[in-house]
A and B are shown apart, each in its own frame.
Chain A
Amino acid sequence: MKQIADWALNVATMRGASYSDARIVSQRSRALTTKNGKVGSASDAESAGMSVRVLADGAWGFAASEDLSRAGVEATAAHAVEIARASAQVKQQDVRLAPEKPVTAEWTTPHVIDPFSISVEQNIALLLNIDSELCAVAGITLAESNLNFNRDEQWFVSSEGTDIHQTKYSAGAGYAAYAFAGNEIQKRSYPNSFGGQWQNKGYELIEELKLVENARRIAEEAVALHHADQCPEGKFDIILDSSQLGLQIHESIGHPIELDRVLGMEANFAGTSFLTLDKLRTLRYGSEMVNVVADARQEHGPGLGTFGFDDEGVPAQCTPIITNGLFTGYLSSRETAHTIGENRSGGTLRAEGWNRLPMIRMTNISLLPGEKPLTLEQLIASTDHGILMQTNRSWSIDDRRYNFQFGCEIGWEIKHGKRVRMVKNPSYSGITTEFWNSLDAICSRDEWTLWGTPNCGKGQPQQVMGTGHGAAPSRFRGVKVGSAYKGS
């Protein structure tokens, strides 16, 4: 593979590129689903190819091809330089890359069981077992389950001498039970909605999730929601479970700290950010209890944002994003680091596949757990009147990441420290900084989960990326609840 990359880099250099890198990627995936007692889909996919990214005349060019023959690789590299020269005709200044020491390295996701070594029969048997548990509950009208496995092997070689071979594994699993009755569709999911839980792990993740053990309860809750009262509207203290809080972190912290958004590079599609450069180390993002990191290192856990090196060869790092409530860091790249006075990239550039340009992506953006021991039940017990909301059902936020609204699958009204009734259709909304400043309790480490969001969209052409979000159940004071159903 090094030889193939060298063909590309040599042509790029000969044609005048001042910098170039090549990524050769081989991807394999398996996706299995069931629906109402049957296999819904069963598919395997493989894809391999190479991309070349170059700087010429101070501007970027990128070309990719499935053709790994010498002629194909050299033509792709030449095309990348041609594209860079066209880019250079519309520029305000030359691209500047923060220095990065060349490395030669190997890295593989730590895993116990290669997910592709597990037989498809065993996978399908698991899903059908879950399905039968869900469908056994009277009132369930639709049951769906999924298993997904991915293996991405990448060779990254740069004109500066970096040579990295990296193999990443990820796995995901989940299910949902729907109950239609009257004029209402209710749904419960486990362990999370929209595909379940995902991590950079082997098949051992699936064994840890206790999928079958929770299926009956989840289905019963979906049916019970039809008999629950509508979630009340007004200002309430709310407790979010860790999966919902993970998505809240993703949308209202993870995206606004992307430095490319802040600098206007995403203005036409994903939007910009309220976190303008003047807010670094001056904005009180949240209450004193809020500590958030962007941590791609293995020691943070097996998140979808865990890796050895990013896709421009920068080692995984931990960046403090919010420190005791103060905004302290962005997600950066070699191109953008200088705009915040840094002389090194934060190591967050990633691409969806061999034919996509790496861009700034969330790594594992995690809210650190509370330091004092606090379980969810203790948190509920200390709440006089509030709503506990679990499992995301809908999410939306404006294009500068200020105003958000989330809906959850199920809610529980809390009075005098006790869950007093189930409520349906819970939702809450607010302004990002006001919301994070209202946080007054975070459960401790034993309630903390590193959730995976496998479907984060960004860029043109749009790329889908997996990100990680660690969170423990937390309480927020005086939050607006229920406007999603007001007057619609």
Chain B
Amino acid sequence: MLTREQAADIFDRIRKLSSADETEVLFSGGSFALTRFANNTIHQNVADENHMVSVRTVFGGRTARASTNKFDDDSLRRVVESSEALARVQHPDSDLLPMPDDREAAGRADEGVRSTPVPSRYFAETAAITPQLRADSVKKIVEVAQNHKLTTAGIFSSSESVEGIFNSRGLSDWYTQTLAEVSITMLGADSSGWQKANSPDVSNLDPLGLAEIAAKKALDSTHPAEIPAGKYTVILEPAAVLDIVGFMFWDYSGMAILDQRSFLTGRIGTKLFGENITIWDDVTHPLQTGSPFDGEGMRRQRLPLVENGVVERVVYARGTAARMKASEYKDKVGPIEATGHGFALPNEMGEMPLNIVFAAPQNPQTLAQMIASTERGVLVTRLWYIREVDPYEKIVTGMTRDGTFLVENGKVQRGLRNFRFNQSLIHMLSGVEAMSMPVRSSGEESFDMVVPAMKVRDFNFTEVTKF
């Protein structure tokens, strides 16, 4: 894998080739391997290694980017020429700021991130996972399926990755991470169950435990019954929560407010959700992953986005913060400062919080307690194919999947046919009756988060499918 020293050498070569006023180089990549299984067979098994170098040049307010995965002299010369040629023909952008230096990049994060260092997320044991080790684990997962007369499908992946940034004002930062991930579906004749987990440290994963839970869901949901669509109390497991709430975090962005494409336009400072909802963005959280710096090298701050239901603030890239301070909205959007959440420049989206952590509730309940207190409701394992229906009321649609159950009289009674929902996230987060302790969770519709299970009243199922 590319080292910081090798990257520094490549940056020096690029600087010598560049004639730009300013030059920034991003590094990304690493090695990735994934063993995929279905029908109790490993049917796909892949590994790759790749690193990208991405060069941004600036000439008098004009900027552009070019990238390559080849680090020989000719390739580096070509990528610098491409970046410069693209940059020179841009129109000057009066909002483009000079690149940050190390001191500016530290920002207020000096008080937060660096005094509470990001935990190491590189584990040699994860990096050393072999195809044989993954196959051994899959074999045991398949045995669980066979013991229950089910078939299984899923993945076991492992990776080590780097992210780095160097610029001509002396800024440099570097981050390495490992990640192991297991996702398991168990299939019966007319039912299925699912579980997924990931961690930088493979020793945190329990593939067999996940397999048994997925198998139980498949077994418990055989012969699913159809009940009419309508408003139900639902108990959403953490993966279902993360997948649906993930659709609102693109809007916690200063640029989204300036563009008037955020559902928070005109709503920052108002109580939009229930009193029990508090949400942070926190790259330092021990269950979080990802680099502690953004696309310009700014250190990510730990921020409260929502406190007791009130939307407190959004995140900012440097340029967005400067624009917001000069805008008509400046007095209506809470604190305005670069928070270390910007995407690599140039881009049109600005920034986004990517390390979401829901605060622990005052009276956390286990999933079993939520079920026990439910007279009639629906337990949801997982959601699928979620898309935005209405951007301002934040209505999203999607399906339940791989384990949907009827809860009656405090007990899980039987499996149900899957529902389609059309649900406003504003209404949903205003109707949360109970939450578990937040856990690291992973789904397929959104990025990983630290979220609780939620019991929500009046969740809006609009249709039932055929299985």
Q: Nearest chain A CB to B97's CB is how many angstroms away?
A: 15
25 contacts between A and B (CB under 8 A): A38-B93, A42-B346, A47-B50, A47-B67, A59-B42, A63-B46, A64-B49, A65-B49, A87-B35, A90-B142, A120-B86, A183-B393, A265-B153, A266-B153, A269-B155, A394-B388, A396-B385, A398-B399, A398-B401, A398-B465, A400-B465, A429-B462, A461-B157, A487-B422, A488-B423
Q: Which 7 A-B pairs have the closest CB atoms?
A: A40-B348, A86-B131, A403-B465, A267-B153, A64-B48, A180-B260, A355-B48
Assembled-state Cα–Cα distance A185/B39 (Å): 45
Assembled-state Cα–Cα distance A275/B270 (Å): 49
20 more contacts with CB within 8 A, not counting A396-B386, A399-B402, are A35-B259, A42-B65, A43-B64, A44-B64, A44-B65, A83-B131, A87-B35, A89-B42, A89-B139, A268-B183, A268-B185, A359-B44, A393-B389, A394-B388, A399-B401, A403-B463, A461-B46, A486-B460, A488-B389, A488-B424
Contacts of A271 in B (CB 8 A): 384, 401
The digit string for A366-404, where 1 denotes a CB below 8 A from any CB of B, is 000000000000000000000000000111111110110
Residue of B nearest to A142 (CB): B259
Contacts of B86 in A (CB 8 A): 42-44, 120
Contact between B392 and A461 (Cβ–Cβ < 8 Å)?
A: no
Contact between B38 and A267 (Cβ–Cβ < 8 Å)?
A: yes
Contact between B155 and A460 (Cβ–Cβ < 8 Å)?
A: yes
Contacts of B385 in A (CB 8 A): 396-399
Contact between A40 and B38 (Cβ–Cβ < 8 Å)?
A: no
Contact between B42 and A185 (Cβ–Cβ < 8 Å)?
A: no
B355 interface residue, CB < 8 Å from A?
Answer: no
Q: Nearest chain B CB to A444's CB is how many angstroms away?
A: 32
Contacts of A45 in B (CB 8 A): 66-68
B103 interface residue, CB < 8 Å from A?
Answer: no
Contacts of A265 in B (CB 8 A): 38-39, 43-44, 153
A425 interface residue, CB < 8 Å from B?
Answer: yes
A229 interface residue, CB < 8 Å from B?
Answer: no
Assembled-state Cα–Cα distance A62/B348 (Å): 36
B390 interface residue, CB < 8 Å from A?
Answer: yes
Residue of B nearest to A265 (CB): B38
Assembled-state Cα–Cα distance A403/B43 (Å): 28
CB-contacts of A344-382 with B (<8 A)? 355-357, 359
The digit string for B259-286, where 1 denotes a CB below 8 A from any CB of A, is 1110001000000000000000000000
Assembled-state Cα–Cα distance A405/B79 (Å): 44
Contact between A487 and B391 (Cβ–Cβ < 8 Å)?
A: no
Contacts known (A39-B90, A90-B37); A396 close to B393, Cβ less than 8 A? no
Contacts of A407 in B (CB 8 A): 389
Contact between B48 and A63 (Cβ–Cβ < 8 Å)?
A: yes
Contacts of B32 in A (CB 8 A): 461
The digit string for B336-358, where 1 denotes a CB below 8 A from any CB of A, is 00000000001110000000000
Assembled-state Cα–Cα distance A128/B90 (Å): 11
From B91, B392, B399, name the one whose CB has the most chain A CB atoms within 10 angstroms. B399
The digit string for A33-64, where 1 denotes a CB below 8 A from any CB of B, is 10110111111111111010000000111111
B52 interface residue, CB < 8 Å from A?
Answer: yes
B69 interface residue, CB < 8 Å from A?
Answer: yes
Contact between A485 and B420 (Cβ–Cβ < 8 Å)?
A: no
Q: Nearest chain A CB to B71's CB is how many angstroms away?
A: 9
Contacts of A394 in B (CB 8 A): 387-389, 397
B109 interface residue, CB < 8 Å from A?
Answer: no
Contacts of B184 in A (CB 8 A): 268
Contacts of A3 in B (CB 8 A): none
Contacts known (A180-B260, A460-B34, A460-B155); A488 close to B422, Cβ less than 8 A? yes
Partner of A183, one of B46, B49, B392, B466: B392
Residue of B nearest to A178 (CB): B261
A124 interface residue, CB < 8 Å from B?
Answer: yes
Contacts of B69 in A (CB 8 A): 46-49, 66
Q: Nearest chain B CB to A134's CB is how many angstroms away?
A: 14
